Amino acid sequence: MKKISIAKGEISASEISLGCMRIAELSKSEASMLISTALEEGINFFDHADIYAGGKSEEIFAQAIDMSPRIREKLIIQTKCGIRQGYYDFSKEHILNSVDGSLKRLKTDYIDVLLLHRPDTLMEPEEVAEAFSILHKSGKVRYFGVSNQSSMQIELLSKYLNHKLIINQLQLSVTNTGMIDSGLNVNMKVNSSIDRDGSILEYCRLKDITIQAWSPFQFGFFEGVFLDNDKFPELNEKINEIAADKNVPNTAIAVAWILRHPAKIQPIVGTTNVKRLKDICKASEVVLTRQEWYEIYRAAGNKLP
C-alpha cells in the first residue's frame, strides 16, 4: 500500500482508509478479521464517528483488536463529532464530551485526528477554538479537520483556530464529481459549471488540506452502488474493460480513478467484506493514464466542453 503525506508530512497514512461505520454489524471475530486484513494490506488509517451505530462501532473496533499500546502505535485513528439527533452541535461542551466518549469506547488515550462532522450554521468559532485548544493541550487530540465544509466555512473557522485544519472529508465518486465538474466547465452556461462548494478542490490543494472521499462507490446520496448496476451500462463497460486490461477487479479501478487525481485524495472505503477489501486495495498497484481517467469520467455521463 502506497502512503500519502498528511499535515505536511507529519502523518504518513495509507492512501486508502478503512471506514468503520458498519463495523458494528460484525461479530468480534469478524471485525477482528476485517481489521487484521486491512493492516496486512497496508492500511493504517481508520475512520470513525461518534454517531456510527450510536458509538458501538468504536467499541467493536477496540474490542476486535484488543487495543493495547503495542497495537495503538500502528494505527492512525480518526473520529468525528457534531451530529446529534435532529441537529448539529459544535458547542465547546459537546465537542469535549464527544471526544471523552470516543476515547473511552476506543480504549485509547488520544485521537490522531478529530473532524467536525458536517457544518453547524449555529457554530460559534471561538467556542470551537477553545475546545480544540483544550483537547490538544491535554493530549487527547493531535490534529483537527472538518467534513463537508466549503472553502469559506473553513476560512471562517480557521480565523479563530490556533491549529491548522488538515483534512476535509467530502463525497466523491466517479458518479459524484461536482467539485471536479465546476473546474472543467469554467465560463460555460451549463449546470456542470455551477460551483456549489467554493472551489473546494483547488482551495484544499492551496491550503495543504487533504481531501478524503467518502462513499467512493455510491451514486446520488446513498442511492446505491454504481458498479455492476444496470443504470450505468457505459460506465461499467469502460471500468470492466480497463480492469481486465490491468488484471484487477472493477472495485480497484473505481478507487484508482480517485487516487489518480494529483490532489492526493484519500478514499474512505466502508466495506465489511474481507475479500472485497483485498480487491479494493489492489487500487494502490494501479496508475491510470490520463486518457483512461477521462474515458471513465465521460463514461459516467460527463461531457467535456
C-alpha cell at 230: 444496470
Rg value, the chain, Cα = 19
Give the max Cα distance, the chain.
56
Q: How far is CA 1 from CA 42, 259, 289, in A?
A: 5, 12, 19
Return phi, psi of residue 33, to 5°: -65, -40
| Burial letters 120-147, b for 16+ CB under 10 A, else e | beebeeebbbbbbeebbeeebbbbbbbb
Catalytic residues: 52
User: Cα–Cα distance between 281 and 252 in angstroms, integer?
Assistant: 7
User: Cα–Cα distance between 132 and 139 in angstroms, integer?
Assistant: 11
Q: Residue 246 burial by CB count (10 A; 0-12/13-18/19+): exposed, middle or buried?
A: middle
Q: Which of 126, 130, 129, 211 is nearest to 176 (CA)?
A: 211
C-alpha cell at 101: 466518549
- Residue pair 120/88 in contact (Cβ under 8 Å)? The answer is yes
